[in-house]
Amino acid sequence: MTSSKSLKTDILVIGSGIAGLSIALKLAKNHHVTVLAKASLSEGSTHYAQGGIAAVLDPFDSIESHIHDTDEAGAGLCDPKAVELVASHAAGSIKELIEMGVPFSRCEGEQCTYPFHLTKEGGHSHRRVIHAADHTGLSLTETLIKKVEQHSNITLLPEHISIDLILNRQRSRCIGAYVLNKLENTVYDIWADFTVLATGGASKAYLYTSNPDTSTGDGIAMAWRAGCSVENMEFNQFHPTCLFHPNDRSFLISEAVRGEGGILRLPNGTAFMKKYDSRKDLAPRDIVARAIDQEMKKHGLDCVYLDITHKSPEFILEHFPTIYERCLKVGIDIRKQQIPVVPAAHYTCGGVATDLHGQTDLEGLYAIGETACTGLHGANRLASNSLVEGLVFAEMAKQSIEDGYHKEINNTEAPKPWDSSHVTDPQEKILVAHDWDELRRVMWDYVGIVRTNKRLQRARQRIKNLQKEINEYYHEHTVHSDLLELRNLAQVSELMVKSAQKRKESRGLHYNLDYPNTLKKAKPTILKPKKDKRP
Ligand code: FAD
Ligand code: SIN
């Protein structure tokens, strides 16, 4: 298979979540934008977001307080400039969404100090999370997709998975990407002045996750292979409360349930969070997830319980209609019964290292949204600070790309066509499925909420063996999406383990029993690919 087609566009955006669609809409005013999605346009973490978007909207709240809460959750590792940038631009980004018509829940009654309802989540000292009931992501996605579909300057390519970035001959600039059209099984090269990675996170590296199938760290792996640095990859966030049920393992029970009064209990009814933190059930996620993990291990439990039954049935139905319906499907009526919950992999705090405009190490390449590490989240993301990061960094990257068009862009060298004349069709795709299972099990068992040097070393060795097999398979066979994603997940898992091994302390989401203390000085973990190892 060689490139069946070559496409040219001004800006290639890889990903159709909040980050990708936001920047596409902003840039399409002056440029032609092509947006790729490896599944349907709506599939991605954005679609499943529940709690909402953090922004200082209430007149009694303050940007200083949002900054303080973000820093506190981030355990001393947040980049102050990124935090200040996001906290101060968040309200402007929300205004744009309201103007686009996102149907946020309204505040009703005399006590309202802002027209829309603001909920609370762990680590926030004010109500500052704007939301559309418990289906914020769905409402956002529907609004954004309607807008991009109507735009004459945007070409949408769903079911197209990017394989790798294309660099110029000197390997100094990104000039586009090779892309597999999954429906036709053909590879395109897409030539672009600027490429934006908006490919989401990598939580599918873990056996149990709240994330959809798209979260396979493709952008991080592609950027790494292209020579970009990655940052803070050891900080994978585990959401404390995913539904525990044999028929539904990846459904999230929003932190807003605890924000509105939900209490975590042991099977005997004991509320245990007061033992761990003065903020009890509303402590930051790393603390709550570790507490649940500890209680489950101590008492030999399969799960703990989240109790919102003390709220009125009307309140529950108004605020949590999606959670109510989904739990009812598996026989749990949350108005009367406690919800069985366990922690699950939820968010990749690290990612492709960028500056405050989403610019990566490589000219012509930007990374925004969950795939990027901007410095905002430090060692642990504050709840509902992700969607807002995607919005603010879409604006910052847009400004930098517009500036780029005012300078001379050296992009005259067309991409080399994709060449797969030396590979054959795979006969045993089952090998890929086995490697997927093994990788996700290894990451869950050895690189989870609590780590040790021995577990990390074991994971490193297993991942190395898997990578050898996967790379051989990749170089001998025609590409298909399962293989591409596995190759990326294995790469990202290696980066997570290497980063975890470099950190000789416990901080935020990274908890290592061999180094239980936190060092005085907080330093990011930055990995740079070795030049001679690049493909
Ligand atoms: P995504 O929305 O994940 O989109 C990634 C896109 O990239 C998809 O279109 C995918 O198809 C595409 N893609 C990936 N790889 C490729 C490739 N190789 N080629 C082509 N396309 C590719 N955060 C909050 O702030 N508030 C919340 O309430 C909240 N709730 C959440 C609830 C759940 C269940 C989950 C899973 C996450 C939640 N988060 C929340 C986190 C937040 O939703 C995500 O971090 C955010 O949506 C990420 O947006 P994104 O645009 O970076 O990526
Ligand atoms: C949630 O609703 O609990 C998810 C919020 C987030 O991940 O920020």
* Fold (CATH) for 241-346: Flavocytochrome C3; Chain A, domain 1 (3.90.700)
- Comparing CA positions, the residue from 345, 302, 322 lying closest to residue 257 is 322
Q: What's the average model confidence in pLDDT over 128-153?
A: 98
The string of pLDDT tens digits covering residues 277-298 is 999 999 999 999 999 999 999 9
How far is ligand 1, taken at its centre, from the CA of residue 386, in Å?
9
Identify how many contiguous H helices and E strands the chain contains and give both numbers.
14, 18
Q: Tell me, what's the pLDDT at 419? A: 86
For the Cβ of 255 lying below 6 angstroms from any atom of ligand 2, the answer is: yes
Q: Return the residue whose CA atom lies nearest to atom 39 of ligand 1.
A: 49
Q: Return the residue whose CA atom lies nearest to atom 47 of ligand 1.
A: 46
Tokens, residue 173:
């600039």
Q: Return the residue whose CA atom lies nearest to atom 1 of ligand 2.
A: 254
The string of pLDDT tens digits covering residues 29-79 is 999 999 999 999 999 999 999 999 999 999 999 999 999 999 999 999 999
Q: Which of 3-12, 173-182, 365-374, 505-514 has the lowest mean pLDDT?
A: 3-12
The string of pLDDT tens digits covering residues 226-282 is 999 999 999 999 999 999 999 887 899 999 999 999 999 999 999 999 999 999 999
How far is ligand 2, taken at its centre, from the CA of residue 86, in Å?
17
For the Cβ of 37 lying below 6 angstroms from any atom of ligand 1, the answer is: yes
Q: 320: buried, middle or exposed (CB in 10 Å: 19+, 13-18, 0-12)? A: buried
Across the chain, mean pLDDT equals 95
Q: Which of 199, 373, 488 to mutate to test the pocket of ligand 1 (most atoms within 8 A of CB)?
A: 199
How far is ligand 2, taken at its centre, from the CA of residue 463, in Å?
30
Residue numbers annotated as active site: 285
- Comparing CA positions, the residue from 235, 210, 181, 171 lying closest to residue 484 is 181
Residue 3 pLDDT grade (very low, low, confident, very high; cuts 50, 70, 90): low
For the Cβ of 46 lying below 6 angstroms from any atom of ligand 1, the answer is: yes
Token look-up 């999954």 returns: 182
β-strand pairing of 304-307 with 263-265: antiparallel
For the Cβ of 415 lying below 6 angstroms from any atom of ligand 2, the answer is: no
For the Cβ of 206 lying below 6 angstroms from any atom of ligand 1, the answer is: no
For the Cβ of 256 lying below 6 angstroms from any atom of ligand 2, the answer is: yes
Q: Which residues pair with 160 in a beta bridge?
A: 181
Tokens, residue 337:
């019964």
pTM for the structure as a whole: 0.97
Residue 338 pLDDT grade (very low, low, confident, very high; cuts 50, 70, 90): very high
β-strand pairing of 5-14 with 186-197: parallel
For the Cβ of 387 lying below 6 angstroms from any atom of ligand 2, the answer is: no
How far is ligand 1, taken at its centre, from the CA of residue 288, in Å?
23
Token look-up 């001679």 returns: 532
Q: What's the average model confidence in pLDDT over 388-394?
A: 98
Q: Which of 141, 214, 354 to mutate to test the pocket of ligand 1 (most atoms within 8 A of CB)?
A: 214
How far is ligand 1, taken at its centre, from the CA of residue 474, in Å?
26
In 3-state terms, the chain is what percent helix, strand and coil (to 5)? 40, 20, 40
For the stretch 104-107, contacts whose Cβ atoms lie closer than 8 Å and that sit 24 or more positions apart, written own/partner, are 104/130, 104/131, 104/132, 104/136, 104/139, 105/131, 105/132, 105/133
The string of pLDDT tens digits covering residues 105-124 is 999 988 999 999 999 999 99
For the Cβ of 51 lying below 6 angstroms from any atom of ligand 2, the answer is: yes
Q: From CA 75, how far away is CA 379, in angstroms rounded?
A: 6
Q: From CA 490, how far away is CA 499, in angstroms rounded?
A: 14
CATH superfamily of 6-235+357-404: FAD/NAD(P)-binding domain (3.50.50.60)
Q: Return the residue whose CA atom lies nearest to atom 24 of ligand 1.
A: 384
Q: Which of 48, 236, 308, 384 to mutate to test the pocket of ligand 2 (most atoms within 8 A of CB)?
A: 384
Residue 392's SS3 state is: helix
> What is each CA distance from 73 to 232, 295, 385, 432, 526, in whole angstroms?
15, 22, 11, 38, 20
How far is ligand 1, taken at its centre, from the CA of residue 15, in Å?
9
Q: Which of 43, 117, 255, 386 to mutate to test the pocket of ligand 1 (most atoms within 8 A of CB)?
A: 386
For the Cβ of 15 lying below 6 angstroms from any atom of ligand 1, the answer is: yes
Domain boundaries, the chain: 6-235+357-404, 241-346, 430-533
Radius of gyration (Cα) for the chain, nearest Å? Answer: 22
The DSSP letter of residue 359 is B
How far is ligand 2, taken at its centre, from the CA of residue 127, in Å?
14
Residue 208 pLDDT grade (very low, low, confident, very high; cuts 50, 70, 90): very high
- Comparing CA positions, the residue from 178, 152, 156 lying closest to residue 167 is 178
**Does CATH place domain 430-533 in 1.20.58.100?**
yes
For the Cβ of 254 lying below 6 angstroms from any atom of ligand 2, the answer is: yes
How far is ligand 2, taken at its centre, from the CA of residue 194, in Å?
31
Residue 409 pLDDT grade (very low, low, confident, very high; cuts 50, 70, 90): confident
What is the identity of the amino acid at 277? Answer: D
Residue 4 pLDDT grade (very low, low, confident, very high; cuts 50, 70, 90): confident
Enumerate residues 6+ apart whose C-beta is below 8 A from 117: 104, 105, 106, 107, 108, 130, 131
Q: Which ligand sits nearest to residue 492's alpha carbon? A: 1
Range ranked top by mean pLDDT from 61-70, 400-409, 470-479: 61-70
Q: Tell me, what's the pLDDT at 432? A: 87
For the Cβ of 386 lying below 6 angstroms from any atom of ligand 2, the answer is: yes
What is the identity of the amino acid at 375? Answer: G
